[in-house]
């Protein structure tokens, strides 16, 4: 039988080699590492899957779900659009949007916060006739900085809290990270508000998958409901919601249809308007105008017991049964689907969409039970488009997800419930109120990061139980022999920063956290200070596009090259260290006692 220390050393060596090699996905490497550790006897078989029940892993999954619900609600987007008019120059865009994403990412997933702000950033850059390359990298860096502020801001903070619990019996609380993380985030945002000039200003980003297959605007019909704030207001007021990017092309009122109505025409409850715009702007107008898509209300009631009502885009093929027929003649409603909108290349239509004969190439937005719609798509000879996440026919959930996030954070901060339980309660409320469908919740969870964390937790636990961390920390003590505590703290932070691009930030914490804790404990230093140094170092990879998903996400749209990252990120790395190290020493005195 191989000695446990030797076995876990071999597993870690293999894991590091595969991570550096980069040919396999991180989660696959983690699974292989776990399997090897079990087969070599370093991890007992009964503990192999303990990581999947770890509170840190569960909390990360729950935060991803709530973040997706907040993003889907549209409440933040509507609030942020109010600032769109003042973002009229590259400087104001960088300052305003980076500050926004930094605040958001302190309380929700980094990627979720960045996904909310990115469309606004790109639209603002286009409006100002500047390149998105000026603002997107500062946004990505801001999302990383914001994650430093709270326990839930980024997975490394949750994992380092786990290490603290293993060492001292007490995890970090929600805002233990705030003094150091807040100071670092503030300094970083101030630097980015000036240093954005280091970035190229003439780069053109790669087109999005959606833009490679562009269709003309949809036409859909919506009714002015009793709760609509536009009862008595003009068509022009309604079009202004989307900054003039939608057009009311027809109005049906009092039994007659008016083609191309004037913008001064006043709307009334019961009026049906035909709106032309892309899917995103249609949803925006329907949500904020509290309009009812024609047929949508009835369909929702008919399928009230279903939790899988969704929207899909399809193309009418040449062999489709719909060619030459209308929605009314095909009785689509009786078939269990609702025709929400129609798009036809190059032609504006003012007839009611239910009475329009379909043609080859038409793009339809259909709503109904997901499984049933999929069956009808095949039966009718339609071609489904790739999922473009359109949400026509689905009203935003308002303030509920944001309120649940705030309540969960408050409950965890006041120690009313463990953090995983408070966020689980929030997700249960989202499910009960049908704010999110179960399928959407599962889609919101990134399985790769969950598997990476869950698979490596038993391995890193084995490193500690086998005495491996003591061996490594003894080597580190020899290597750092005679240096001051502050120099040792700096060495741990910079070592973590160097390892992060190779291992991924979560894997880095799982490896470096126990080693740093063991080193500090054996040296008579404050374990908390060194764990904070690891947390900061693992979350601050500003030198590469692949150390964190936020940096990867902006590479294509920003048209960045690898060399652009260290150009802006190297000074920021030094600023982070320059602010974090003294702040850690002040908040968490280096000498234990």
Q: Are 265 and 284 in contact (CB under 8 A)?
A: no
Cα 332 to Cα 127, 304, 359, 365, distances in angstroms: 41, 18, 16, 12
Q: How many Å apart are CA 236 and CA 292, to the nearest integer?
A: 19
Domains of the chain and any CATH numbers: 214-290 (3.30.70.1450), 295-384 (3.30.70.1450)
Q: What is the pLDDT of residues 408-440, one digit of tens each?
A: 888 888 888 888 899 999 999 999 988 888 877
pLDDT for the residue numbered 304: 42
pLDDT for the residue numbered 145: 95
Q: Are 409 and 107 in contact (CB under 8 A)?
A: yes
H helical segments located in 350-467 = 370-379, 400-413, 419-432, 438-444, 447-465
Cα 287 to Cα 292, 293, 432, distances in angstroms: 9, 10, 22
Q: Closest by alpha carbon to 195, among 567, 524, 574, 449? A: 567
DSSP 471-493: HHHHHHHHHTTT--HHHHHHHHH
Beta bridge partners of 341: 220, 365
pLDDT for the residue numbered 194: 93
Residue 337 structure tokens: 């689907």
The torsion of the CA quartet 97, 99, 101, 102, rounded to 10 degrees, works out to: 160
pLDDT for the residue numbered 305: 44
Cα 583 to Cα 151, 179, 529, 570, 577, distances in angstroms: 17, 8, 10, 20, 10
SS3 100: helix
Q: Are 510 and 453 in contact (CB under 8 A)?
A: yes
Q: What is the pLDDT of residues 128-170, one digit of tens each?
A: 778 888 899 999 999 999 999 999 888 889 999 988 998 888 9
pLDDT for the residue numbered 449: 80
Cα 508 to Cα 146, 163, 166, 172, 295, distances in angstroms: 19, 13, 17, 18, 52
pTM: 0.67
Q: Closest by alpha carbon to 51, among 454, 452, 420? A: 454
Cα of 335 vs its chain's centroid, Å: 36
pLDDT for the residue numbered 102: 95
pLDDT for the residue numbered 593: 54
Q: How many Å apart are CA 531 and CA 104, to the nearest integer?
A: 24
pLDDT for the residue numbered 1: 56
Q: Tens digit of pLDDT per residue, the chain (593 long)? A: 577 778 887 887 888 788 767 678 878 888 999 999 999 888 899 989 998 988 888 988 888 888 888 877 767 666 666 665 566 678 888 898 999 999 989 988 787 788 778 777 877 787 777 888 889 999 999 999 999 999 988 888 999 998 899 888 899 999 999 999 999 999 999 999 999 988 887 766 544 434 433 444 567 788 888 888 888 888 888 888 776 667 787 888 887 888 768 888 889 988 888 887 766 677 778 878 888 877 554 444 444 444 456 677 777 877 788 888 887 787 776 777 777 777 765 455 545 666 778 887 778 878 777 667 767 777 787 776 644 445 555 555 568 888 898 898 888 888 888 888 999 999 999 999 888 888 778 888 888 888 888 888 888 788 777 776 666 667 677 677 778 899 999 999 998 888 887 667 888 888 888 889 888 888 889 999 999 999 999 988 898 876 677 887 787 778 888 888 899 999 999 999 999 999 999 999 988 55
Place of tokens 């150009």: 567
Q: Are 52 and 58 in contact (CB under 8 A)?
A: no
Q: How many Å apart are CA 553 and CA 551, to the nearest integer?
A: 5
């Amino acid at each position: 039988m191989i000695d446990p220390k030797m076995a876990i050393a071999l597993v870690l060596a293999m894991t590091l080699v595969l991570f550096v090699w980069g040919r396999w996905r991180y989660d696959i490497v983690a699974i292989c590492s776990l399997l090897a550790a079990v087969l070599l006897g370093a991890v007992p078989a009964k503990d192999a899957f303990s990581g999947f029940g770890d509170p840190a892993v569960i909390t990360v999954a729950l935060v991803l779900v709530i973040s997706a619900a907040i993003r889907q609600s549209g409440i933040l987007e509507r609030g942020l659009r109010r600032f769109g008019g003042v973002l009229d120059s590259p400087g104001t865009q960088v300052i305003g949007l980076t500050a926004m994403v930094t605040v958001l990412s302190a309380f929700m997933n980094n990627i979720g916060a960045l996904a909310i702000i990115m469309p606004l950033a790109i639209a603002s850059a286009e409006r100002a006739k500047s390149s998105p390359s000026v603002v997107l990298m500062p946004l990505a860096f801001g999302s990383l900085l914001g994650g430093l502020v709270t326990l839930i801001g980024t997975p490394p903070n949750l994992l380092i809290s786990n290490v603290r619990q293993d060492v001292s019996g007490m995890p970090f609380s929600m805002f233990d990270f705030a003094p150091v993380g807040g100071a670092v985030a503030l300094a970083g945002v101030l630097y980015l508000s000036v240093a954005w000039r280091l970035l190229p200003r003439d780069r053109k980003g790669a087109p999005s998958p959606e833009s490679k297959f562009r269709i003309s605007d949809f036409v859909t019909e919506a009714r002015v409901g009793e709760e609509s704030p536009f009862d008595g207001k003009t068509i022009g007021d309604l079009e202004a919601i989307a900054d003039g990017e939608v057009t009311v092309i027809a109005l049906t009122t009092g039994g007659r249809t008016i083609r191309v109505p004037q913008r001064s025409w006043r709307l009334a409850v019961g009026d049906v308007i035909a709106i032309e715009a892309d899917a995103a702007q249609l949803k925006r107008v329907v949500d904020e105008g509290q309009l009812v898509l024609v047929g949508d209300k009835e369909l929702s009631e008919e399928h009230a017991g279903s939790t899988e009502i969704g929207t899909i885009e399809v193309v009418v093929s040449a062999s489709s049964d719909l060619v030459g027929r209308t929605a009314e003649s095909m009785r689509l409603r009786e078939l269990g689907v609702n025709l929400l909108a129609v798009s036809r290349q190059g032609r504006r239509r003012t007839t009611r969409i239910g009475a329009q004969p379909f043609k080859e190439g038409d793009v339809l937005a259909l709503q109904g039970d997901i499984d049933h719609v999929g069956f009808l798509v095949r039966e009718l000879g339609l071609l489904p488009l790739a999922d473009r996440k359109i949400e026509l026919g689905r009203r935003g959930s308002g303030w509920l997800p944001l309120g649940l996030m705030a309540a969960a954070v408050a409950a965890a901060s006041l120690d009313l419930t463990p953090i995983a339980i408070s966020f689980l309660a929030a997700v249960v409320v989202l499910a009960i109120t049908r704010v999110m469908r179960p399928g959407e919740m599962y889609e919101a969870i990134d399985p790769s990061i969950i598997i990476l964390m869950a698979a490596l937790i038993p391995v890193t636990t084995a490193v500690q139980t086998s005495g491996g961390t003591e061996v490594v920390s003894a080597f580190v003590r020899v290597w750092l022999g005679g240096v001051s505590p502050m120099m040792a703290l700096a060495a741990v932070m910079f070592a973590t920063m160097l390892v992060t691009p190779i291992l991924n930030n979560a894997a880095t914490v799982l490896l470096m956290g126990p080693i740093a804790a063991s080193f500090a404990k054996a040296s008579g230093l404050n374990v908390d200070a060194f764990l904070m140094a690891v947390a900061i170092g693992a979350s601050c990879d500003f030198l590469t596009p692949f150390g964190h998903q936020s940096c990867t996400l902006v590479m294509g749209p920003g048209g960045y090259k690898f060399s652009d990252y260290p150009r802006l990120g190297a000074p920021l790395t030094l600023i982070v260290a320059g602010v974090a190290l003294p702040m850690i020493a002040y908040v968490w005195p280096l000498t234990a006692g």
